[in-house]
């Protein structure tokens, strides 16, 4: 996938501002035009898990927009992957990443990096997966 | 930095997410397979490449327009609370290959769907996962009317590394799709163990 930071929208001749690119520009309006998450600069994996931060300050954060809130609401019932948040909010993945960066910086959520399969604790997990699949 | 969950105090308390990719040529049954085994949801990802095109699944008939959004297949299978399997499939056209570079990172493994009537369509996927040492199984989608090839023929035609499983399947059937995934997870487990042994030996 193209990295959000390499295809800089400012690039001359970029398709970015082309009228044909309408569907692309509009979603990023909710991020204030930002295409990469803030200073933390991490690119969240599609299966990174997002949990509401229990230490989040009470009350509304005026800096957060409706889309931020929508993501927070999606996480309320249970931990969500980045992909689920994108599907659930009907926002493109890149937009969700930017919004999550904001939520992370403001202490609203925690985002856990997926455990690489090579570091799985033991085969127990895989056995569980196989048993779970059989039971489907 | 990402504030990670404090490093896995005990397996149970940390939610685990595993990623499985579904690859293969255009129209080979990727979306069908993901839909058969999980609740499928469309996932939009945006592309800045000028060649990124509309997905063929688009039914709006607007084929002159080049959009910058790519729809991927996405499905989740909950094994138990705190352990989920996530399936990702991308449109089969060549111009969407770049999507795999992100998807492949940290993937448990991949299913390469093949159609024996045009086996060559899955060559790029096979190459891709072989090069990156990502465990994969080849699932031969037995479209009705297609000759039921012997799995060994497919294995030979694709010049697969020994041990790479080839499974015959019907992507529309849940039971069949499940079997494909089970074969993949078992194989990924074997590969994992083999690598561990290699690294200590
Ligand atoms: N007879 C038969 N038809 C199938 C089977 N699997 C898929 N199909 C049909 O084949 C067509 C293409 O299937 P899709 O699942 O959309 O294929 P895809 O790989 O997602 O296609 P792209 O995303 O466009 O690359 C659909 O009309 C399916 O209904 C199968 O096992 N048998
Ligand atoms: Mg499809």
Is A12 touching B (CB cutoff 8 A)? no
| Option in B66, B68, B86 nearest A47 (CB) | B86
ipTM confidence: 0.80
Tell whether ligand 1 has an atom less than 6 A from the beta carbon of residue B72: no
pTM over 0.90: no
Binned average pLDDT, 10 residues per bin, chain A of 136 residues: 42 40 55 66 86 87 92 94 94 92 93 78 85 94
Distance CA A136, CA A64 (A): 40
Compute, in angstroms, the gap from residue B33 CA to the centroid of ligand 1: 8
Distance CA B174, CA B34 (A): 9
Burial class of residue A22, CB neighbours in 10 A (0-12, 13-18, 19+): exposed
- Check CB contact under 8 Å for A130 and B4: no
Domain annotation for chain A: domains and CATH numbers: 18-134 (1.10.10.10)
* CATH H-level superfamily of B16-54+64-200: P-loop containing nucleotide triphosphate hydrolases (3.40.50.300)
Q: In chain B, pLDDT over 70 holds for what percent of residues? A: 79
Q: Which of residues 31-50 of A touch B (CB under 8 A)?
A: 40, 42, 44-49
- Check CB contact under 8 Å for A118 and B195: yes
Give residue-wise pLDDT tens across range B70-99: 889 999 999 999 899 999 997 777 667 777
């Amino acid at each position: 996938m193209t990295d959000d930071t390499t295809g800089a929208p400012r690039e001359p001749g970029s398709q970015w501002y082309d009228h044909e690119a309408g569907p692309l520009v509009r979603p990023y309006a909710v991020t204030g035009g930002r295409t990469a998450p803030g200073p933390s600069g991490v690119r969240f994996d599609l299966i990174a898990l997002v949990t509401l931060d229990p230490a989040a300050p009470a009350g509304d954060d005026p800096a957060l927009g409706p889309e931020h809130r929508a993501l927070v609401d999606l996480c309320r019932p249970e931990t969500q992957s980045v992909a689920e948040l994108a599907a659930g909010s009907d926002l493109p993945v890149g937009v969700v990443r930017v919004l999550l960066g904001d939520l992370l910086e403001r202490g609203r959520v925690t985002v856990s990096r997926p455990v690489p399969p090579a570091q799985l604790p033991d085969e127990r997990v895989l056995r569980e997966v196989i048993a779970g699949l059989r039971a489907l | 930095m990402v504030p990670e969950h404090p490093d896995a105090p005990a397996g149970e308390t940390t939610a685990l997410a595993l990623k499985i990719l579904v690859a293969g040529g255009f129209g080979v049954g990727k979306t069908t397979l993901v839909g058969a085994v999980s609740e499928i949801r469309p996932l939009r990802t945006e592309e800045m490449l000028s060649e990124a095109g509309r997905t063929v699944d688009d039914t709006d008939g607007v084929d002159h327009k080049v959009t910058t959004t790519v729809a991927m297949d996405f499905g989740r299978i909950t094994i138990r609370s705190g352990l989920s399997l996530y399936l990702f499939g991308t449109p089969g056209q060549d111009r969407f290959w770049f999507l795999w570079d992100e998807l492949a990172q940290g993937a448990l493994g991949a299913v390469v769907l093949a159609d024996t009537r045009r086996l060559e369509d899955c060559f790029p996927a096979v190459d891709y996962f072989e090069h990156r040492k990502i465990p994969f199984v080849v699932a031969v989608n037995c479209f009705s009317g297609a000759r039921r090839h012997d799995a060994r023929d497919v294995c030979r035609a694709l010049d697969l590394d020994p041990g790479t499983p080839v499974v015959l399947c019907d992507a529309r059937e849940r039971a069949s799709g499940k079997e494909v995934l089970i074969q993949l997870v078992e194989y990924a487990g074997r590969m994992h163990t083999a690598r561990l042994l290699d690294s200590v030996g």
